[in-house]
Amino acid sequence: MVGLAPKAKVLRYGKWGEQDAAILVPGDIISIKLGDILLTDARLLEGDPLSVDQSTLTGESLPITKGATQEVFSGSTVKKGEIKVTVYATGVHMFFGKVTHLVDSTNQVGPLQKVLTAIGNFCICSIAVGIVIELIVMYLATSQV
């Protein structure tokens, strides 16, 4: 069976090879090119500028150009160029990982969630009362026949 895990072209022990994204570690050098989705946070090495779509993180509708030593983030898509990058963060240490960890770790209920919960509870109670009334009416209607 062929694995469906994302792969990356990694330089390890002086040789290029494909590795599962899950085993990438900070310090790895990977090659990225047009169409690749970045699997980690990385810093661009020397080379031509890279056009990257970061809309999944920033909401920007247009790709931005990044040059050597600039950072690119997990989830971004390469729109133009090819360059080598060095991984500097993986897992919960990535930009996107920190955001998801913060969202996951919060226990506070926001005002919108309180309003939606109240509306939902009102709807459920109204439906339950309506069903009970309907059952009573149906029972009375059928018992008089």
How many whole angstroms separate alpha carbon 82 and alpha carbon 52?
Answer: 11
* Residue 5 contacts residue 20 (beta carbons within 8 Å): yes
Sign of the C-alpha dihedral computed for residues 124, 126, 127 and 132 taken in this order: positive
Q: Give the tens place of pLDDT for each residue, 62-99.
A: 899 998 889 888 888 999 988 999 988 887 777 766 66
Q: Give the tens place of pLDDT for each residue, 89-141.
A: 887 777 766 666 666 667 788 899 999 999 999 999 999 999 999 999 999 99
**Distances from the Cα of 53 to the Cαs of 10, 74, 80, 81, 114, in angstroms?**
22, 11, 9, 12, 35
Mean pLDDT over residues 11-31, rounded? 88
- 14 is written with which tokens? 């002086």
CATH class name, domain 7-94: mainly beta
| Residue 55 binned pLDDT confidence (cut-offs 50, 70, 90) | confident
Q: Return the pLDDT at 67.
A: 87
Strands 50-53 and 64-66: antiparallel
